[in-house]
């Protein structure tokens, strides 16, 4: 067999293998109910995660589905945590300070910022079990990122401050403030429903 024909056949075989692999991979991802799905916040990408091994991305543009290759090692995300923040307003008989650190950044290497309570105490109910927020964070029952991610989902149209991007999330009986200032402040406050960033301004 001539060398040129042999090279052509090898290249053709490689193309066929790639196309078949693409088709099989897409069908597996589309039809396997066990595969986790992550929706990116920009609303444009949908990641189909093959049990944490590879990521395959479809990009939707003007209603059309375009296949994009993105093969990489991937750590599977945790299962979605069912949780509820339980905030209790501070009472006159309570001995703790109006503002106190739930988890100081010096107590853990998990966070480079401090998580505070404002004018109350904070517990959390996870899958039916109640914990102090500090306990839940230190024991990896939940992360602060998961709490903020849910707040972003609950309040998708929240406007950030022009200090660099700090945001307030006002729930019915509590508020979360996530600092994101140009000077590097990333602290989180969980407090009363009427708490605003102005209440904390004198601290910084």
Q: What is the pLDDT of residue 145?
A: 92
3-state SS assignment for residue 32: coil
Tokens at 97, concatenated: 């300070």
Separation CA 111–CA 146 (nearest Å): 13
Spans of the chain, pLDDT less than 50 = 19-61, 65-78
pLDDT at 203 (0 to 100): 61
For the stretch 37-50, pLDDT in tens is 444 434 444 444 44
Angstrom distance (rounded) from CA 73 to CA 52:
8
Is pTM, for the whole model, over 0.75? Answer: no
How far is 27 from 9, CA to CA, in rounded Å?
27
């Amino acid at each position: 067999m001539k060398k040129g024909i042999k090279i052509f056949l090898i290249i053709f075989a490689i193309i066929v293998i790639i196309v078949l692999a693409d088709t099989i991979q897409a069908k597996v991802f589309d039809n396997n109910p066990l595969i986790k799905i992550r929706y990116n916040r920009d609303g444009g990408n949908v990641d189909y995660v093959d049990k944490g091994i590879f990521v395959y991305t479809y990009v939707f543009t003007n209603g059309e589905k375009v296949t994009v290759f993105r093969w990489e090692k991937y750590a599977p995300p945790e299962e979605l945590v069912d949780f509820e923040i339980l905030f209790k307003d501070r009472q006159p008989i309570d001995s703790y300070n109006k503002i106190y650190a739930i988890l100081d950044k010096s107590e853990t290497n998990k966070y480079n910022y401090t998580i505070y309570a404002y004018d109350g105490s904070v517990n959390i109910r996870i899958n039916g079990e109640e914990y102090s927020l500090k306990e839940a964070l230190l024991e990896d029952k939940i992360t602060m990122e998961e709490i903020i991610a849910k707040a972003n989902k609950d309040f998708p149209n929240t406007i950030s401050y022009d200090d660099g991007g700090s945001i307030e999330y006002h729930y019915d009986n509590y508020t979360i403030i996530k600092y994101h200032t140009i000077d590097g402040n990333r602290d989180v406050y969980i407090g009363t429903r009427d708490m605003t960033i102005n209440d904390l301004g004198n601290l910084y």
